[in-house]
Structure 1
Amino acid sequence: MALKTRMKEYRARYQMSQEDLAGLVGVRRETIGNLEKGRYNPSLKLAMDIARVFETTVEELFWFTEE
């Protein structure tokens, strides 16, 4: 199963860079990039922190698909 995310879409809506988001949730910019590319699965806390920044749910931002 592969993790998919709408983080890039939400960042665009909020006119936010990867660096901006990383600073708000306390991780490095590279972590945000890896999340967006599906190379990294976030902890539950990180997923919730990101969802909180975008005023949405974890389920709206992240889901798994079979590949």
Structure 2
Amino acid sequence: MKPNIHPASAPLEWVKSSYSGNNGNCVEVAVLPGGGRALHDSKNPSGPVLTFSADEFSAFMASARAGEFDQT
């Protein structure tokens, strides 16, 4: 899975996890038309945006829940 990288463009409704603190080091997610998702760094809201199709994002979340990205 390789995400698309785009500059920020159309206004999106960005949401950060309730687990995030107030230190500004957050990844925020927005729902795209068609059900995909966009991710960006809250410290750089006008910076690049990673976009995923609905299927790609679902696979990413399943992998994260399964611990595939855990660092040991």
The structure with the largest helix share of the pair is 1
Q: Same fold (TM over 0.5)?
A: no
The structure with the largest strand share of the pair is 2
TM-score w.r.t. length of structure 2: 0.25
TM-score w.r.t. length of structure 1: 0.26
